[in-house]
Structure 1
């Protein structure tokens, strides 16, 4: 099984550098355009999906629908890959949770928020579900899963078994793609790709089409 995780397209909260978390903020016009560029990126590689999952939050489900060419209703929501819950800090500037980024191993969640360990636990449960699907349903070869910045880092940390201090080590731009595959019942990382940045570089002439 191959799984393509994709971060959702841009929202107004992203643009304003505000904490989103569980706040159900929709894609803005740029975010919709980014999802369309990502859809073209997959299409050029002849990649289609047997199953499509997304966080229940509208920005992720809409991204998955655009990228996969399915309707919003056809995208299967899964709460295990929703964004990290930042509790009372949601809607505030990122600068207010600087300690989370600078020292994640020491982060103490505010009222109503989720810890990194809790995020990792549900991320692992999603990976376990995919492993079970691979073992029980031979018709499912390629999966798309649309998620969020912190949630995707939770997935990555489970696969790489990284320490909490390295939780934020990877930069995840809007509509970046994280590819993994199952090998001998173990999830293996194939890499992080950036369709939006590639499209911008191609447009500027910095890279040539293969």
Structure 2
């Protein structure tokens, strides 16, 4: 069984480098186009996707629906697949966070896995909730599935797979509508690493 992880399409907040996190931001016109292009590309590849799962955030749902409509596969919105909650930093740029929350940012930056952003969650907490949902998805499916989610989710999974510190997650940055493939055995092994 394969799990294809897709980062949602472009948003206006991506354009302005604003931290989206748990905020419910729509796709931009560019993001809608990206989602349509991805849907066409997936159709041409003729992957054996049996179901599409999506984060409950608008930008992910809109991306998933575009793919769902093209491939004629149902989409299941799944709580737990949403982006990390970065609390008071959401809506700000990273530059603004470094200026306005200098000491908190410094502590967080050097211990990203376990440090919690003010009124947010840690990447560790993100991974615990995501892995719980992924286990459920794997248990309920035998065929390949596509999961539309967010940058931090995919970067954290890749850090775990490659056994890298979460402070190195920028090496696994994913573009909007980029597809990353994992198999279910790899994801089962990850559970022991969180």
State the distance in 2 between where 1:106 and 1:59 align.
25
State the distance in 2 between where 1:148 and 1:185 align.
17
Relative to structure 1, the CA distance from residue 3 to residue 106 in structure 2 (aligned partners, 3 Å threshold; closer, same or farther) is: closer
Q: CA deviation at 1:152?
A: 1.6
**Structure 1: tracts of 5 or more residues without a match:** 135-139, 189-210
What is residue 180 of structure 1 aligned with on the other side? 182
State the distance in 1 between where 2:177 and 2:77 align.
18
1:59 aligned to 2:59?
yes
Q: CA deviation at 1:56?
A: 0.1
Q: How does 1:117-136 map to 2 (within 5 A)?
A: 117-134=124-141
State the distance in 1 between where 2:2 and 2:115 align.
35
State the distance in 2 between where 1:68 and 1:11 align.
20
Q: CA deviation at 1:96?
A: 3.5
1:165 aligned to 2:172?
no
What is residue 154 of structure 1 aligned with on the other side? 156
Equivalenced residues, count: 181
Relative to structure 1, the CA distance from residue 31 to residue 54 in structure 2 (aligned partners, 3 Å threshold; closer, same or farther) is: same
Q: CA deviation at 1:108?
A: 3.7
Counterpart of 2:152 in 1: which secondary structure?
A: helix
State the distance in 1 between where 2:92 and 2:41 align.
33
Q: CA deviation at 1:159?
A: 3.4
State the distance in 2 between where 1:31 and 1:10 align.
4
Higher percent of residues as helix: 2
Counterpart of 1:91 in 2: which secondary structure?
A: coil
Relative to structure 1, the CA distance from residue 16 to residue 185 in structure 2 (aligned partners, 3 Å threshold; closer, same or farther) is: closer
CA RMSD of aligned residues (A): 2.6
Q: CA deviation at 1:174?
A: 0.5
Q: CA deviation at 1:130?
A: 2.9
1:49 aligned to 2:49?
yes
What is residue 91 of structure 1 aligned with on the other side? 91
